[in-house]
Structure 1
Amino acid sequence: MEELVTSLQEVIYNIEQFNKDLLEETDILTQLTQFKHWYYIPANNSFGPSKYIGYKDMNTTKYARGENKTGVDTEKILKQWFIKLPSESKKSQVLMEELSELLGLYGKRIRSNAFIHVLKNGITCP
């Protein structure tokens, strides 16, 4: 089993790597519709899915299509820095639209039961 992240800095690194993997059109593109929990970092206006960003030093190759990884474990660790937005909240709707536009660039759609998570009040990016 992969090692979980232990700091917000590792999460931010993984979100940056996820977005780099998207730009490089790696295999992660084929999996975009599978992700349910998306995390948003305002400092660099970017998103990353929990199952990818919750493990140390992640990249598309290491992600290996999610093999031996579980969102249950990553959700537990990520909730120390993030909160899940209510789907009906204005902030959630705005961020869902942004995420939809991002995935649309790759011909993909957000899962209908997806959620957005944002940094807890008072937590800022390192």
Structure 2
Amino acid sequence: MKEKELVFGYDYYAYNPRLEDAEGIYLQEYQLFSHPDLEGAKNYIRDCLEIVKNKKENDICITFFAEGEEKNFYHILIFKDNQWIEFDDIENLKIGKYELLLQSEDFIMNNQLVVTSWEEIADNFRAFQKINEITGSKIMKYYSSFYHWYYTPEEGLFAPSKFLGYRNSNIVDYDSSGSGGQTQKALAKFFTKLEKTSPEFDILYNELLQISHNSGKKLNDQVLNGKGGIYVPIKL
């Protein structure tokens, strides 16, 4: 990890006092630190939470931020009166009953440039196909964390959002840096998400499942059962 990169991710909990095996939330010791991308990361998390469906009173979102292995801290939000507000009563978290509903992927704030043309996207689609050609490719380490997959029918190719959405992506240098939300926003100008009940989704999902199996990797369950999915070019 580069020295100045800010890594962050979040855990989403539902408050459920009636759940017998629900437990309190215990956080490791942490220290505050400053980072130029910190506010941008917090805003990104808030954007993610805005699209969460079925939010309930007292839901909790705990975001971790890290700069290197030693500096890290948590930012806690609670859903109250139909809005997310900051929450700092850590002791109350320990005695409440919470059910973990979602753990996000890890995000990295950086200055990578997103794609702005179909030509750049097409180049990245082709670059991703070399995933099985390079021994020890780092992208194999992250394969099972991808759950937003894009498909081009012209060449019959798949690629994940975080690889496809940044300019000049390549298998050798890929290190999972960047934000899936940032690339999804850039790719939304060119692609639309398939309904999971559609015949086209069923065909492409099974094809992607077979490709993953052939690569010796497990396809993330979020593609089928969670917030992930498969995207195809917008028909003009």
TM norm structure 2: 0.49
Q: Which runs of 5+ in 1 are unaligned?
A: none
Which residue type is aligned with residue 234 of structure 2?
K
What SS does the corresponding residue of 1:39 show, helix, strand or coil? strand
Alpha-carbon shift at residue 106 of structure 1 (Å): 1.6
Instruction: Name the structure 1 match of 2:234.
Output: 120
Please show how residues 15-30 of structure 1 align to structure 2 within 5 Å. Answer: 15-25=125-135, 26-30=137-141
Point out 4+ residue stretches in structure 1 off by more than 4 angstroms.
none
Instruction: Name the structure 1 match of 2:103.
Output: none
> Which structure is higher in helix share?
1
Tell which structure's C-alpha radius of gyration is larger.
2
What is the CA–CA distance in structure 1 between the aligned matches of 2:188 and 2:123, rounded to whole Å? 17
Which residue type is aligned with residue 58 of structure 1?
S
What is the CA–CA distance in structure 1 between the aligned matches of 2:140 and 2:202, rounded to whole Å? 23
Alpha-carbon shift at residue 29 of structure 1 (Å): 1.7
What is the CA–CA distance in structure 1 between the aligned matches of 2:171 and 2:179, rounded to whole Å? 15
What is the CA–CA distance in structure 1 between the aligned matches of 2:189 and 2:121, rounded to whole Å? 12
The alignment of Structure 1 onto Structure 2 pairs a total of residues equal to 120
Instruction: Name the structure 2 match of 1:51.
Output: 162
Query: Is the CA contact (8 Å cut-off) linking 1:22 and 1:28 kept in structure 2?
Result: no
What is the CA–CA distance in structure 1 between the aligned matches of 2:149 and 2:182, rounded to whole Å? 15
Question: Which of 188, 193, 196 is equivalent to 1:84?
Answer: 193
Instruction: Name the structure 1 match of 2:113.
Output: 3
Alpha-carbon shift at residue 60 of structure 1 (Å): 2.4
What is the CA–CA distance in structure 2 between the aligned matches of 1:78 and 1:61, rounded to whole Å? 22
Query: Is the CA contact (8 Å cut-off) linking 2:194 and 2:201 kept in structure 1?
Result: yes
Q: Which runs of 5+ in 2 are unaligned?
A: 1-110, 224-228
Alpha-carbon shift at residue 18 of structure 1 (Å): 0.6
